[in-house]
Amino acid sequence: MNAAPSRFRRWAVALARHAAWVLPSAPSSWAQAMRHELDYIADDRAALCWAFGCTLASYKARLMRWPRLSPRVPWRHLATSGALMLLIGLALQEHAASQTEPPRPAFDKTPCDPADVSPEIRARRCDPCGAKIAAEVIDHPAQGPDTSCVDRTAPTPPVPKRQ
Amino acid sequence: MPRKPNNSRQTRALLAAFLEQAQMWRHGYDLSKETGLKSGTLYPLLMRLSEQGLLESRWQEPERSGLPPRHVYRLTATGLTLAREQELEAVAAERTGALA
């Protein structure tokens, strides 16, 4: 008869030792109880299953004694944090989607409302305003450029000197 | 509505097993075989019930030499009351289910 413990039995003993190590010091008698119970289980595979369960029980007991881990609170916190992160993510995604349109040119919305011009000329000048203004500046250089509806940040064309 | 404490299926099964032989000291492995609970479920339950004062435990000397002492458990008076209440509730629930 082979008196040496089988592989399963050795694993079971190792697991039971680990379970005892995992358990905090206060309920160490429980670890000893689980370990001693192992010696009364004849079947080696059953002993291994028992030891595995004991290890799980030790981890459970360890987690329950962790001050910030009560059985229900962490899940509530995790669920709230997850929901908040999801909401923030959705809001950021929506914001990013609205930013995809390219910025419009600054002069597009510039009001074309020259002050001292008759309504006819105003209509002719300002619809559309960009190209016609440039043409008028070239045709009538003495009047000077009408910069009322052009981009004021752009450099102004040089005015030719009078002879 | 908050859940009633010690009312899970596993706890009720364990208390019922203790109630069957209320005056006897029971071993963990025997309780596991009787209730079908694995050690990973059984021992946290035993620890919790013991902390709540529903179970008492002690070390029992081995019957054969060469074996370590065993931890044995028994219901306290409070635990016995709770186990009896739960048994009555279970019987009432069975009757209600049978009538419905």
Q: Does position A157 have pLDDT exceeding 70, yes or no?
A: no
> Of residues B45 and A60, which shows the higher confidence score?
B45
> Of residues A124 and B8, which shows the higher confidence score?
B8
pTM more than 0.80: no
ipTM passes above 0.85: no
Which site among B25, B39, B57, B58 would you substitute to test the A interface, given the most A Cβ atoms closer than 10 Å to its Cβ?
B39
pLDDT of residue B38: 92
| Angstrom distance (rounded) from CA A28 to CA A58 | 10
Q: Which residue of B has its CA nearest to A42?
A: B29
| Angstrom distance (rounded) from CA B17 to CA B32 | 10
pLDDT of residue A7: 85
Q: Which residues of B touch A36 (CB under 8 A)?
A: 68-71
> Of residues A67 and B95, which shows the higher confidence score?
B95
**Residue A110 carries which DSSP code?**
-
Contact yes or no for B14/B42 (Cβ under 8 A) = yes
Is residue A162 very low, low, confident or very high in pLDDT (cuts 50, 70, 90)? Answer: low
Which site among B43, B51, B59 would you substitute to test the A interface, given the most A Cβ atoms closer than 10 Å to its Cβ?
B43
Is residue A60 very low, low, confident or very high in pLDDT (cuts 50, 70, 90)? Answer: confident
Q: Which residue of A has its CA nearest to B60?
A: A33
Question: What is the DSSP secondary-structure string of B16-62?
Answer: HHHHHTTTS-EEHHHHHHHH---HHHHHHHHHHHHHTTSEEEEEE--
Q: Does position A125 have pLDDT exceeding 80, yes or no?
A: no
Judged by average pLDDT, the poorest of A49-63, A75-89, A102-116, B69-83 is A102-116
* CB spacing of A50 vs B39 below 8 angstroms: yes
pLDDT of residue A1: 45
* CB spacing of B43 vs A50 below 8 angstroms: no
